[in-house]
Amino acid sequence: EPEVTQTPSHQVTQMGQEVILRCVPISNHLYFYWYRQILGQKVEFLVSFYNNEISEKSEIFDDQFSVERPDGSNFTLKIRSTKLEDSAMYFCASSQTEQYFGPGTRLTVT
């Protein structure tokens, strides 16, 4: 069964550094999403992406964040200058109708 994959599974970075989280969505899906879950809190929507552009974004998704689909398979989330409060589990999802989630990347900002 096709799956959404994410790399790395765990990323440790220092405050102020840039990080890129990578996702490979399910191949025939057209809609892509990033969510995050801070420890002990709800899963929160960050951004959705369709037809090579952002279709919706939350107030969390400020200028420090960007998304890209650099080729036909990858979907990336970049955080330009990480802050301590960016530490969270980041989930990628893709969909045709319902959303399928990847295993997540645990980002730790020190």
Partner 1 sequence: AQSVSQHNHHVILSEAASLELGCNYSYGGTVNLFWYVQYPGQHLQLLLKYFSGDPLVKGIKGFEAEFIKSKFSFNLRKPSVQWSDTAEYFCAVNYGGSQGNLIFGKGTKLSVKP
Q: Which is nearer to partner 1, 74 or 99 (CB)?
A: 99
Contact letters for partner 1, residues 16-55 (x by CB under 8 A): ---------------x-x-x-----xxxxx--x-x----x
DSSP class of residue 30 equals -
Q: Which is nearer to partner 1, 16 or 50 (CB)?
A: 50
Distance CA(81)–CA(85), nearest Å, equals 11
CB of 45 to partner 1, least distance (A): 4
Positive or negative CA dihedral for 15, 18, 21, 86? positive
Identified binder of partner 1 from the candidate list 7, 22, 66, 103, rule CB under 8 A: 103
